[in-house]
Structure 1
Amino acid sequence: MTQPSRTPTQITDSSGRTVAANVRRVRESRGWSTYELAQRLKEADRPISPSAVAKIERGERRVDVGDLMALAVALAVSPSALLLPINVDPLDDVEITGSTPVSALDAWEWIDGRGPLTLPPQSAGMHRVYEEVAQYRLYGRPHWLAEMEREEDEGREPRTRASRMMRAAGLESYEAEDGKRRIRRRQDEGRSDGPSMD
């Protein structure tokens, strides 16, 4: 007895469709076949066959959280690069599963951990807006990262990965003090820090 043919799955939610399109976009921009991407996924201990990669790209196979992370690693992009549309203008509306449409800028700020997806209307008062942002940072960001970002926003620290790594390792004070000592030593020796004006 033959089995009836199965209707292929069709991903209908907006975020699922975006992931499908972005996997294809990044794979093709890297010049990889579905076989090459499948090989990279296998090397990352998340085997997904080439035919399954093609189904993902056609929106015929769901991507679970583990798949999403492995795809982002294999494609050398952040998970956010797969979750949101990239070829849009900042004020264009984008659809996110579970939300009403929001601007691309708001969506990227949210997914990159910079703030809530939506804020209360200003008529609710600035206290309510502040409370929403504070709760977002409290529950959605590690305290140490929120502190680094606050220092960077205030201009006290540069916003670079190297600077963050040094601060996390406790090297910022050592490096700053060491630099000050070298400048004082040069000044004491009668040398200038800059090029000679002779």
Structure 2
Amino acid sequence: MPANKNDAPTGKTVAANIARHRKDRRLSYAELSRKLTELGRPIPTLGLRKIESDERRVDVDELLALSVALDAPPADLLLPHDVDKDAKVEASGFPEGIGMAELRHWVMFSTYTGLPFALEAAARDHDERHPGFKAALEQALGSVDERIARAVDAAFEARAKGHGKAGFTFEGDPNGDD
């Protein structure tokens, strides 16, 4: 099997989502190729066809350029489409599979600590000097993180039902002053 052949589950998901977004926007391969060239990350039409047919992988730079060209957030390209949030899905790095809601949250945040990635790194560094800091920060941010996760789930579900670009909203006041 050639090294550039797309045989990984997340790569296959990305390929399917690129095809879906391109077709939803009624873009030809030539039109998408032109957009990518204008963005400084050209992919010829044959390359786009090969991506969509799992014959070519997408690198990280191409993923971001395709995201911009297709007007789709990178998470929309990385995550399986039309999958129930309670379903178990295949994803690279999770050989036993992973729940869709957990994968969605992991792509958007960090399920391992419940903190966004930047805060996780800062908390880990600070925790070395002040033990317990990370746990206190996780507890303080827990309710906000849960609300963000609910908003992300709702937005993805709305998009899956064809409601276009669903926004992220929170129930109640983020300060708890409902």
- SS of the equivalent of 1:72 reads helix
Greater relative contact order: 1 or 2 (C-alpha under 8 angstroms, separation 6 or more)? 2
CA positional deviation for 1:79: 0.7
CA positional deviation for 1:153: 2.0
Could you tell me which residue of structure 2 aligns to residue 133 of structure 1? 114
Could you tell me which residue of structure 2 aligns to residue 107 of structure 1? 103
Give, in whole Å, the separation in 2 of the partners of 1:62 and 1:80.
17
Give, in whole Å, the separation in 2 of the partners of 1:67 and 1:73.
10
When residues 151 and 57 of structure 1 are mapped into structure 2, their CA distance, relative to the original with a 3 A threshold, is same
1:22 aligns with 2:17: yes
Contact 2:67 2:73 in 1 (8 A): yes
CA positional deviation for 1:134: 5.5
When residues 135 and 86 of structure 1 are mapped into structure 2, their CA distance, relative to the original with a 3 A threshold, is closer
| CA offset digits 1:115-168 (Å, max 9, x no partner) | 31xx6xxxxxxxxxxxx4369641299xxxx99x949829xxxx988xxxxxxx
User: What is the alpha-carbon root mean square deviation over aligned residues?
Assistant: 3.4
What is the TM-score normalised by the length of structure 2? 0.64
Which one-letter code corresponds to 1:133 in the other structure? G
CA positional deviation for 1:46: 0.5
Between structure 1 and structure 2, the one with the greater Rg is 1
Could you tell me which residue of structure 1 aligns to residue 78 of structure 2? 83
Q: 1:67 aligns with which of 62, 73, 80?
A: 62
| CA offset digits 1:32-72 (Å, max 9, x no partner) | 11111101101101111011011111111111110111000
When residues 31 and 104 of structure 1 are mapped into structure 2, their CA distance, relative to the original with a 3 A threshold, is same
Could you tell me which residue of structure 1 aligns to residue 154 of structure 2? none
Contact 1:27 1:33 in 2 (8 A): yes
Identity of aligned residues (%): 33
Give, in whole Å, the separation in 2 of the partners of 1:88 and 1:135.
24
Which one-letter code corresponds to 2:93 in the other structure? G
- SS of the equivalent of 1:35 reads helix
Could you tell me which residue of structure 1 aligns to residue 40 of structure 2? 45
Q: Which runs of 5+ in 1 are unaligned?
A: 1-5, 120-131, 162-198
Give, in whole Å, the separation in 2 of the partners of 1:151 and 1:7.
45
Give, in whole Å, the separation in 2 of the partners of 1:91 and 1:35.
38
What is the TM-score normalised by the length of structure 1? 0.58
Matches for 1:153-172 after TM superposition, within 5 Å: 153=144
Contact 2:114 2:142 in 1 (8 A): no
